[in-house]
């Protein structure tokens, strides 16, 4: 088998330009017709804008009520008439944990 001698010149070879073997199929465009939109379509939600507004208003009402109740409780706890160390402190800690869970539930279910 005979090996070809590599050219010393930095010029590109024209061998690939002389054959059609590496050429892909030509692209044919339709006259006057545009291609269909290939962008992914956003999935429409089954929830209407009015339903969302209603859900958020209810959530807002629940959160405001919860915060008002907590502020009343804090006011009571900070009152000078409130006894210093009672079993109530343990209950308050449990209540605080319950409030956190309540806020989470309200947020997730509304």
DSSP one-letter string for 10-58:
-PPP-TGGG-STT--PPP-PPSSPPPPP-SPPPPPPSS-HHHHHHHHHH
pLDDT tens, residue by residue, 68-89 = 888 888 788 778 787 665 555 6
Rounded distance, CA 67 to CA 73, Å?
10
pTM here?
Answer: 0.38
The b-or-e profile of 82-92 (16+ CB within 10 A means b, else e) is eeeeeeeeeee
| Residue 16, CB-side half-sphere exposure with 13 Å CA sphere | 4
Q: Over the chain (110 residues), what is each successive 10-residue block's mean pLDDT? A: 56 59 69 61 75 91 88 80 63 70 70
What's the pLDDT at 32?
59
Domain segments of the chain: what residues? Answer: 49-81
What's the pLDDT at 86?
57
What's the pLDDT at 2?
52
What's the pLDDT at 88?
59
């Amino acid at each position: 088998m005979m090996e070809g001698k590599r050219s010393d010149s930095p010029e590109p070879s024209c061998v690939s330009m002389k054959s059609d073997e590496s050429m892909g199929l030509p692209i044919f465009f339709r006259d006057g017709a545009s291609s269909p939109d290939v962008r992914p379509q956003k999935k429409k939600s089954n929830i209407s804008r009015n339903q969302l507004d209603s859900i958020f208003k209810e959530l807002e009402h629940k959160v405001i009520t919860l915060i008002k109740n907590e502020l009343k409780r804090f006011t009571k706890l900070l009152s000078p008439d409130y006894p210093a160390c009672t079993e109530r402190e343990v209950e308050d800690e449990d209540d605080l944990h319950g409030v956190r869970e309540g806020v989470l539930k309200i947020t997730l279910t509304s």
